[in-house]
Structure 1
Amino acid sequence: MKVLHVVTGLHAGGAERQLALLLRHLPKDQRHEVATLTDPGTVARELRADGVTVHHLGMRGNRDLGVLPRLTRLIRNGRYDLVHTHLYRAMLYGRLAARLAGVRGVLATEHSLQAGVIEGRPTSRGVKALYLAAERLGSTTLAVSGQVAAVLDAWGVPAHRVRRLPNGVDAARYRFGPAERAAHRARLRAELGLPADAFVVGGVGRLVDGKRFHVPLAALAALPPAARLLLVGEGPARAALTARAQRLGVRDRLVLTGERDDVPELLTAMDVLVSPSRAETFGLAALEGLAAGLPVLHSACPALADLPTAAAPHARLLPSEPDHYARELTALAAAPPGLLPVPPAVAHYDITRIAAELAALYRESAGALPGPRHPARRRTEPARLPSL
């Protein structure tokens, strides 16, 4: 089986890294290639290092319609059995190109749809209309959480065309033996200028307003002077966070790492992970914190909301306000819990299980397409797949 993944870009974002992680765990009897419309960045280099073929289509902007014939030719000439799209622009162009090339098995993972917002931007009437028109060209839309599935339902996407397939976390990557963990912790604290005995509050994600990292930053001012805030990620809100830290008098206690590819190791330098965003479509950072054995304070995590509370006993849901975070962080700073057991939620979302479900879905989707595996000759209705 040969699958082409079409993605808007390959910078170091959550959906892009999730794609790379899945491709590392899908079975070897399925051949996967990636087409990126634009921005063949950090993740493209990682994929190529893993031996994955990455096609760059050189899209210059949202209205660069010239990408459509280029993508159509790539799909037709590549003789792919299935096309799997990721992110809004790739869904629009990828689904249409696949149908023009004769491929009827077209899946799309919806990573970033919220009520009134898609990929962090408001959904206008035109955006919604385009989305729904493109959705009808595919065969299946995969929702990464119950929240995303609920938005798709509210938008009128038929239930038989939606499957639940969550994101996954590479649980094994976050597990270190005691000696190895201590070595990473000491090395990274020294590298980042964090005192060995400091209470370190950590956050992982793009530095954008929606992540609300100003909340733990404001809470930091109420914590003991030895406390630090370590934010792993990059983005347009960096300058505003730095300026706010200066105004609060905690600039020397804020550490910004920029974009890093050693997040599991960096988590060993933290004592607690915070995720103060009010709106997430999945909440991968919270799961990564739990996989690393950290207590987690969060304000939105659909991945955990989809499970019983007992599945993540060390995760606490808080209003996204500084005083609530300050109160919980003060208590943790007074008695740090140390390394905690990995909760059942992490095993539930382990990438090996998620990749196995996706591989089975690929086989199911390809099996629903009758006739020889030649995209230009397929004639079938979209596959109707049962719910997970």
Structure 2
Amino acid sequence: MRILHINAGLEQGGGLFHIVNLLKVARLEQQDFTLLTFADGPVAAEARKVGAKVDVLGIDSRYDLRLLQKLKRYINKGNFDIVHTHGARANLFMSMISGQIPAKWVITVHSDPTKDFGGRGFVGRVFTKLNLRSLRKADRLLAVTKNFKNLLVQQVQVDPAHISVIYNGIFFDQDEKKQLQHAGFNIINVARMEPIKGQMLLLQALSELKLADLKLHFVGDGSALQELKEYVKAHGMNENVVFHGFLPQSAINDLYQTMDLAVLTSYSESFPLVLLEAANAEVPILSTNVGDIEKMIPDEQHGFVASIGDGGSIKNAILKAYSIHQEQPSTLNEMAQIEKSYLSANFSMVQQLNSIESIYRVLLNN
């Protein structure tokens, strides 16, 4: 099978790592996968690092319709069996030429498509409608959670027979991680600084807790960054909060060595890769009850779960982890090891690749 993955190329979050990890495991398993991006940005750069085959169309404008002819020629000349798109812009352009190419079309739905353009006014509403229309035209949708499948059926009116649930995976290390000695209780939040990620709830919870030896590390950039910084300053939290900005994964892995808890306080998520990565680093995890998080944190032995949008619930979950750390820190270490063992057995990249390839074969009747 010749498989082409398409992305606009400017992803910097979980979508980027999903695409790059899939290309990496396909190369290791000697599968014929190619990445095509519209711009030569971070996705193409990271894909090259893992040895993936990468091509760039080189379009200057985000919505330059001259791309359509280039895209159609590239796909048909390459004789690809499957075209697999990631992201609203890739979906939109593919939907406009799908009737002119023989390849089957697959979309991975990485996030809630009804919220992808939230807060962008009229333009956001237009692009939301266009993206939803694209989702209905594809031959198969891959939803990264059962919740997303249900949403696609109920709100986007996609035939459930055209949707498969494929959970995200990562490359898990088998070696035991060594946590570096450090003072206090360190929390890390790796996410885009956007309202949907709920970082303001996290700050409000910490402001109410007033734990002098607790330090929060934010990793990421986004539209809410300035508002979060202003809140920290206004509430006298400068000594307790560090903004690192966007960091490469290697730098995040270094940070994990001094972290006691990885926290995600989102209002909406799929199957968050950042928590898999924290678990791989043997950092205990705490998440709001988003997506199919019960698959990742099945019980209290594996981590902490708080209610979505509930600052009090988030505060109580953090306080519980903090109290365990103060009274019996080895318990948190054991929790992290249990979680890593469970996740590595169930959500590896090889398992994810095999599941996706089985869908390809069904579409091609192989």
Q: Distance in 1 between matches of 2:160 and 2:324?
A: 48
Give the match for residue 338 of structure 2: 342
CA displacement at 1:119 relative to structure 2:
5.3
TM-score, normalised with respect to structure 2? 0.85
Conserved? CA contact 1:278–1:299, under 8 Å: yes
Moved more, 320-329 or 82-91: 320-329
Conserved? CA contact 1:165–1:358, under 8 Å: yes
The alignment status of 1:77 with 2:77, answered yes or no, reads yes
Q: RMSD of the alignment, in Å?
A: 2.6
For 2:272, which of 272, 283, 288 is the aligned residue? 283
For 1:198, which of 184, 187, 190 is the aligned residue? 184
Give the match for residue 349 of structure 2: 351
Moved more, 350-359 or 116-125: 116-125
Distance 1:89 1:264, change over 3 A: same
Distance 1:125 1:204, change over 3 A: closer
Moved more, 139-148 or 213-222: 213-222
1:142-174: CA deviation from partner (whole Å, max 9, x where unpaired): 1111111111101211122111112113222xx
Give the match for residue 256 of structure 1: 243
The alignment status of 1:274 with 2:263, answered yes or no, reads yes
Mapping of 1:72-111 within 5 angstroms? 72-100=72-100, 102-111=101-110
Q: Distance in 2 between matches of 1:242 and 1:258?
A: 12
The alignment status of 1:215 with 2:201, answered yes or no, reads yes
The alignment status of 1:229 with 2:216, answered yes or no, reads yes
Q: Distance in 1 between matches of 2:267 and 2:186?
A: 22
Distance 1:342 1:43, change over 3 A: farther
Moved more, 134-143 or 229-238: 134-143
CA displacement at 1:21 relative to structure 2:
0.6
CA displacement at 1:83 relative to structure 2:
0.7
Give the match for residue 115 of structure 2: 117
Give the match for residue 22 of structure 1: 22
Moved more, 339-348 or 267-276: 339-348
Conserved? CA contact 1:201–1:270, under 8 Å: yes
Distance 1:210 1:164, change over 3 A: same
Q: Distance in 2 between matches of 1:211 and 1:232?
A: 12
Q: Distance in 2 between matches of 1:197 and 1:253?
A: 12
For 1:333, which of 305, 319, 322 is the aligned residue? 322
Q: Which amino acid aligns with 1:4?
A: L
TM-score, normalised with respect to structure 1? 0.81
CA displacement at 1:64 relative to structure 2:
1.7
Q: Which amino acid aligns with 2:33?
A: H
Conserved? CA contact 1:96–1:137, under 8 Å: no
SS at the partner of 1:342? helix
Distance 1:342 1:79, change over 3 A: same
Q: Distance in 2 between matches of 1:253 and 1:307?
A: 29
Q: Distance in 2 between matches of 1:307 and 1:251?
A: 33
Give the match for residue 296 of structure 1: 285
CA displacement at 1:98 relative to structure 2:
4.5
Give the match for residue 381 of structure 1: none
Structure 1: runs of 5+ lacking an equivalent: 187-195, 369-388
Conserved? CA contact 1:286–1:301, under 8 Å: no
Distance 1:20 1:279, change over 3 A: same
The alignment status of 1:58 with 2:49, answered yes or no, reads no
Q: Distance in 2 between matches of 1:329 and 1:264?
A: 22
Structure 2: runs of 5+ lacking an equivalent: 326-330
Give the match for residue 328 of structure 2: none
Give the match for residue 152 of structure 2: 152
For 1:242, which of 210, 229, 233 is the aligned residue? 229
Q: Distance in 2 between matches of 1:329 and 1:134?
A: 40
Conserved? CA contact 1:75–1:98, under 8 Å: no
Aligned residues: 350
Q: Which amino acid aligns with 2:8?
A: T
Distance 1:60 1:160, change over 3 A: same
CA displacement at 1:246 relative to structure 2:
0.6
CA displacement at 1:128 relative to structure 2:
5.4
Conserved? CA contact 1:7–1:87, under 8 Å: yes
SS at the partner of 1:281? coil
Runs of 4+ with deviation above 6 angstroms: 122-125
Q: Distance in 2 between matches of 1:177 and 1:309?
A: 23
Task: Identify which of structures 1 and 2 has the higher relative contact order when contacts are C-alpha pairs closer than 8 Å and 6+ apart.
Answer: 1
Distance 1:319 1:140, change over 3 A: closer
CA displacement at 1:20 relative to structure 2:
0.2
CA displacement at 1:356 relative to structure 2:
1.7
Conserved? CA contact 1:220–1:228, under 8 Å: no
- Percent identical among aligned pairs is 23
SS at the partner of 1:75? helix
Q: Which amino acid aligns with 1:168?
A: G
Q: Distance in 2 between matches of 1:7 and 1:302?
A: 23
Q: Distance in 2 between matches of 1:289 and 1:209?
A: 22
Q: Which amino acid aligns with 1:338?
A: L
1:165-212: CA deviation from partner (whole Å, max 9, x where unpaired): 12113222xx5425xx23xx35xxxxxxxxx21200111111112111
CA displacement at 1:311 relative to structure 2:
9.0
CA displacement at 1:85 relative to structure 2:
0.6
1:308-337: CA deviation from partner (whole Å, max 9, x where unpaired): 834963232334344333333233323314
